[in-house]
Amino acid sequence: MKERTLVLLKPDAVNRRLVGEILTRFERKGLKIVAMKMLWLTKEKAEEHYAVHKGKPFYDSLIKYITSSPIIAMVLEGESAIKVVRKIMGVTDGVEAAPGTIRGDFALSIQNNLVHGSDSVESAKREIPIFFDDSEIYDYQLSDEKWI
């Protein structure tokens, strides 16, 4: 089933110059970028995005981390996009993530784990509007879509 999912390339991905590498992995898999921008999250936007973690011991450090530097926000589209993105990212803890995944190849912690991806259709529907207006998300055809 064709889905859309939010993906964030976090401050460590931007500062370690891994944006191109990470984007390449998603595109080579066949996912389509339908929205993308660089932004510096405000504390308010970060709190809205991570509201599900409010009250947890790591919440304050998570907000401080995600607002410490610019991020890349994007919406990816494709067949089972949510599941596919989560497989490509690897498990949350970079130490436990399988080699070949983004986190398995580049992350060594739970917090500085380079990427965020929506974990369900419901999460994607809640998260995407935090970062993008409808006018910033594009419907278009790629010439290779029938092959993917």
Query: What amino acid positions are annotated as catalytic residues?
Result: 116
Contact predicate 116/102, CB 8 Å: no
Q: Yes or no: say if 92 and 113 are a contact pair by the CB < 8 Å rule.
A: yes
DSSP, collapsed to helix, strand or coil, labels residue 16 as: coil
Residue 104 burial (C-beta neighbours within 10 Å; 0-12, 13-18, 19+): middle
8 Å CB contact between 72 and 19:
yes
In 1-148, the DSSP E strands lie at: 2-9, 32-39, 71-79, 115-117
Specify whether the backbone of 55 is left (phi greater than 0), alpha (psi in -120 to 50) or beta.
left
